[in-house]
Structure 1
Amino acid sequence: MITLPPSERDLHAYVDHQLGDADRQLLETYLATNPELAEQVRDWQRDAQHLRAALGGVLQMPANPALDPTRIRQRLRGRSRRHLASAAVLLLAVTLGGVGGWQARQMTFPLPAPMADAVQAYRLFATQDILPADFKVEQSGDLQNWLDRYFTQANRLPNLQNAGFKPVGARLLSTEQGAAAMVLYENPQGQRIGYYVRPPGPRNYMLERGHRRDGELQAEYWSGSGYNYAIVTPADSPAAQLLQQTARF
C-alpha cells in the first residue's frame, strides 16, 4: 500500500505498471491535483516507451539488475529524450559486452531480416504479455482514430472479420525513424494476430511484398502510403491458415 505523498519508488512502479488497482487509482487521484508532478510522470512514461523498444529482446534474458528499466531510466534522466533510445542501446551493449567480451571496433552488424521488429513486438505483446496495451477497444472505442494520431497517411486497419478476428488492443512503440504500433486481433477461440505499422527503415527503405518464418512465427510484410506493414501469426496455426485463405492486405 502506497502512502501520500508518493515516493520516487512508488512513481516508478506506477510507470512500470507494477501497482495494484487500488494503489494506481490512489496515485492517479493525487497526480490529478499535482500537475507539476503529473507532468514529470508523463515524461517518465514517454521515456519508458522508448526504453521498452530499445530493450527489445533483452527483456527476455535472465534478470540482471544493470538492465532493469527503472535503473536505466534513472541513469539517463536529464539527458535529451531525443537520444534516449540510442543511449539505452549503448548502455545495454556495454553491459552485455562486459560479460561476453564485446569490442565496438571489431563488432559487425548483419542486416536485420525484414520487419524483425514486428516479430519481436508480437512476441512481447501477443505471446508473452510483457507489454500491456496502450489502447483497449472495449474501454476506449475507436482504434482507427487513435492510430490516426500517430500515422496520418497510413493505410486503414485491415478488416479481418471474414477470418473471424477483431481488433482488441494496441501498443505504441518506438523506432529510430519514429513511432510504430502493434495492433492485436483476436478471435473467439483466443487465437491472436498482430498487425504492425512503422515508418520506413533507414534511407526511407520500402519493402517488396514478401513473407518469412522466424522460429514459431511467420510474417507477411509490404509497404504503402509511406509506411511499412506486417501481419504476424503463429506459423502453421489455424489462424495463419484462415488468414491466408480469406485476407487481402
Structure 2
Amino acid sequence: MITLPPSERDLHAYVDGLLTEADQQTLETYLAAHPELARQVQAWQLDAQNLRAALSGELHRPLNPDLDPAFIRQRMRRNRTRHFATAAVLLIAVSVGGISGWQAREMTLTSGVLPMADAVQAYRMFALNDTMANDWNPAKPNNVQVWLDKNFAQANRLPDLESAGFKPVSGRLTSTEQGAAAMVVYKDAQGRTLSFYIRPPAERNRLLSPGTRRDGELQADYWSGPGYNYAMVSPADDPAAQAARQTLKHAI
C-alpha cells in the first residue's frame, strides 16, 4: 500500500504498472490534484514507452541469467571476497618472507649451498675414520698450530678446548674451489670427537656472520676471521660437545 504524498518508488511503480488497482486509483486521484507532479509522471511514462519501443526486439529474447541484477550482485560479492583472500595470502607471504628471508639470506646468497657444508661433509668422511692417513698428528715434531700457519697465513689461532676436555689429535688438508682447506680433529678421554675446519671464503670473498645450523645429528657453528671462514662441527645433542661449544664462544 502506498503512502501519501507518494514516494519516488511509488511513482516509478505506477509508471511500470506494478501497483495494485486500489493503489493505482489512489495515486491517480492524488496526481489529479497535483498537476506539476502529474506532468513529471507523464514524462516518465513517455520515456518508458519510447524505451520499450526501441528495445521491442530485445524484450522477446530469452532471459540471460548473467544479466540478472541479483546474480550480478552475488558475483561482485564473490569477487570482493576472493580479492580480500588473495590480499591476505600475499600479506602473510610477505610477512613470513620478511622474517624467514633474512634468516635464509646467509644460506642462499651464493649458489644455495648451506654455510660451511663442506665442513660437515669433511667431519662425516674423515673425523671418525682413524685408519685414514693424516697430514698432522701428535707424533710429528711440529705442533698443530705451526702446521696450520704453514698453510694458512695470518689465520686465527686454533681454539683451545682443553677446559672442556678436548685436545687436537689429527689434522688433514683438503681442497676447495677457492683453495686449500684443513680440518683438525679433537677428541676427549672418552673418544668423543669434534672438528675445527678452516677454508678460504666462497665466491665474491663471502665472509660469514657468526651462526649455527643443524645438519642431521651434527651441529655446525661457523664464523669468519681475516681472510678465512671457520666452523666447529660436533654431535648436536652430546653434552660434552655442548660444553665445548660454550668454550668456543669465549675463544673466538
2:201 touches 2:228 (CA, 8 Å); kept in 1? yes
Deviations 1:112-141 (A, max 9, x none): 100000000001111345743111113344
Give the structure-2-normalised TM-score.
Answer: 0.53
**Counterpart secondary structure, 2:190:** coil
Deviations 1:34-61 (A, max 9, x none): xxxxxxxxxxxxxxxxxxxxxxxxxxxx
Paired position in structure 1 for 2:133: 132
1:233 touches 1:239 (CA, 8 Å); kept in 2? no
Paired position in structure 2 for 1:42: none
- Bigger radius of gyration among the two: 2
Q: For 1:122 and 1:145, how far apart are their aligned partners in 2?
A: 22
Q: How does 1:59-70 map to 2 (within 5 A)?
A: none
Paired position in structure 1 for 2:209: 208
2:166 touches 2:244 (CA, 8 Å); kept in 1? no
1:138 touches 1:168 (CA, 8 Å); kept in 2? no
Q: For 2:239 and 2:213, how far apart are their aligned partners in 1?
A: 17
| Letter matched to residue 148 of structure 1 | D
Q: For 2:221 and 2:141, how far apart are their aligned partners in 1?
A: 28
| Letter matched to residue 143 of structure 2 | D
**Counterpart secondary structure, 1:149:** helix
1:233 touches 1:240 (CA, 8 Å); kept in 2? yes
Moved over 4 A (4+): 128-131
Gaps of 5+ in 2: 1-109
Percent of matched pairs sharing the same residue: 58
Q: How does 1:163-174 map to 2 (within 5 A)?
A: 163-174=164-175
| Letter matched to residue 227 of structure 1 | Y
Q: For 1:171 and 1:229, how far apart are their aligned partners in 2?
A: 15
| Letter matched to residue 219 of structure 2 | Q
| Root-mean-square deviation over aligned CA pairs | 1.7
Across the two proteins, how many residue pairs are aligned to each other? 141
Q: For 1:175 and 1:220, how far apart are their aligned partners in 2?
A: 19
1:162 touches 1:246 (CA, 8 Å); kept in 2? yes
In the TM superposition, what is the alpha-carbon distance from 1:110 to its structure 2 partner? 5.5
In the TM superposition, what is the alpha-carbon distance from 1:174 to its structure 2 partner? 0.3
- Say whether residues 1:158 and 2:151 are aligned partners: no
Q: For 2:189 and 2:234, how far apart are their aligned partners in 1?
A: 16
Q: For 1:239 and 1:159, how far apart are their aligned partners in 2?
A: 15
**Counterpart secondary structure, 2:151:** coil
